[in-house]
Amino acid sequence: MYSKNSGPYYKTIYTIFENRILRIALENFAEKNNFKIFFGEPLTSDIYVMPFFLSIVDRNVLGTEVWNDYLEYDEEVEEHGDYLIIIDDRNDLKIPKYRDIYHH
């Protein structure tokens, strides 16, 4: 059984964004620190199918409908990922209630 401190969950970073510089920096970090990165596809349910410890999300790339579906899912399960970094400037979309959030 995996815990939050071991196993694939703890070592997985889910991302969906289009910033090439951030992607390179994240790939370098992951390689040096033995993390795995899952690069999500726009307009798919990857964000609530892939278990992750950290997610870095541009909701413009993810898609508004997928984001809203994810929020509903997140409220139902109340536990999916520990940390979420939102890297867009949208203030018109809600944020999840059940995790540590950083909204840039």
pTM summary value:
0.83
Q: What tokens does 41 get?
A: 């596809």
Query: Which of 1-10, 19-28, 63-72, 89-98 bottoms out in mean pLDDT, i.e. has the lowest?
Result: 1-10
Q: What is the pLDDT of residue 25?
A: 97
pLDDT in tens, 76-94: 776 656 788 999 999 999 9
Give CATH for domain 7-89+99-103. Answer: 3.40.50
Residues 6+ apart with CB under 8 A from 42: 16, 61, 62, 63
Has residue 104 got a pLDDT over 70?
no
Burial class (CB in 10 A: 0-12, 13-18, 19+), 20: exposed
Q: What is the DSSP letter of 2?
A: -
Average pLDDT over residues 28-34: 95
Domain boundaries, the chain: 7-89+99-103
